[in-house]
Amino acid sequence: MSSTFQLDTSTSRANPTPAPLKRLTIPAIRARKAAGVTAEPIVMLTAYTARQAQLLDAHCDLLLVGDSLGQVIYGLPSSLPVTLDMMIAHGAAVVRGSWHSAVLVDMPFGTYEGSKEQAFASAAQILKETGAAGVKLEGGEAMAETVAFLTRRGIPVMGHVGLTPQAVNVLGGYNARGRSDAEAEKIVTDARALDQAGAFAIVIEGVVEPIAIAATQAVSCPTIGIGASAQCDGQVLVTEDMLGMFERVPRFVRRYEELAETIAGAAQRYAADVRARAFPGDEQTYQPKKG
């Protein structure tokens, strides 16, 4: 099927008509787990830019504009300084760059924990200004009332339990959770509370495998694992991690490319060409018309 493109001058986006793919909906993703079984695991990756979204979109079910962009894009020491404005700018870019995946935007630290009303105002602003389909927020039992409040008011929420990076100062680091009985019990209780509150899916991050499996079996909605278990109902990775953009990656990451080497190698060859006056060459330079 061939598409024609129309330039939207306000966004510089070339919109194809007809759109190449149909956008997945949150109810369709929620329905992938039925009677405790997810026949086809849910594929989620992070995306922060329009071009990245264009490249990932056709292969994913969900694109997450994660607050990990604080470290990955902005070089911040953690996700704590990330603001609503940053999430909205990147969220809108990812929505513009995708046609198929449902796009979720992380609620940044300090924009939802104060009260369920604060959470609604922040989440509504995200949905209005980005066009995303839903939000993700961290925390279990303590956030259940907020998740129910948002869901009942038309905002789909993905929960996030286990290693919750916004709570790094309370957790004391980024180590895997669920090694003690108390921690293990809390993770399953948190997942249950979010499920009962109406979360359409739950990220389980950095959790020892048996507890990730127990939490997955304990909830009716799909779980999305990261550093958890292949038995979760889906998986997510930070795209830059799986592309090999960083020297150091957590052990739960599988690197599908070594892009850091590719990019540094290209920069090295370009620099050598410039210093040798070998770039630009004839093909890259404009000459006056002859005659």
Site for ligand KIV, rule CB under 6 A: 46, 64, 66-68, 106, 203, 205, 226, 236, 238
Least distance to ligand KIV, CB of residue 70, Å: 8
Closest residue to ligand KIV using C-beta atoms: 66
In the complex with ligand KIV, the residue whose CB is nearer, 208 or 236, is: 236
In the complex with ligand KIV, the residue whose CB is nearer, 59 or 152, is: 59
In the complex with ligand KIV, the residue whose CB is nearer, 67 or 195, is: 67
Least distance to ligand KIV, CB of residue 127, Å: 18
Q: Which residues are catalytic?
A: 205
**DSSP per-residue string spanning the chain:** ---EEEEETTTTEEEEES-SSPPP-HHHHHTTEETTEESS-EEEEE--SHHHHHHHGGG-SEEEE-TTHHHHTT--SSSTT--HHHHHHHHHHHHHT-SSSEEEEEPPTTSSSS-HHHHHHHHHHHHHHH--SEEE--BSGGGHHHHHHHHHTT--EEEEEES-GGGHHHHTSS--B--SHHHHHHHHHHHHHHHHHT-SEEEEESB-HHHHHHHHHH-SS-EEEESS-TTSSEEEE-HHHHTT-SS---TTPPPS--HHHHHHHHHHHHHHHHHTT-SS-GGGS--PPP-
Least distance to ligand KIV, CB of residue 9, Å: 32
In the complex with ligand KIV, the residue whose CB is nearer, 137 or 148, is: 137
Least distance to ligand KIV, CB of residue 200, Å: 15
Least distance to ligand KIV, CB of residue 278, Å: 41
In the complex with ligand KIV, the residue whose CB is nearer, 75 or 291, is: 75
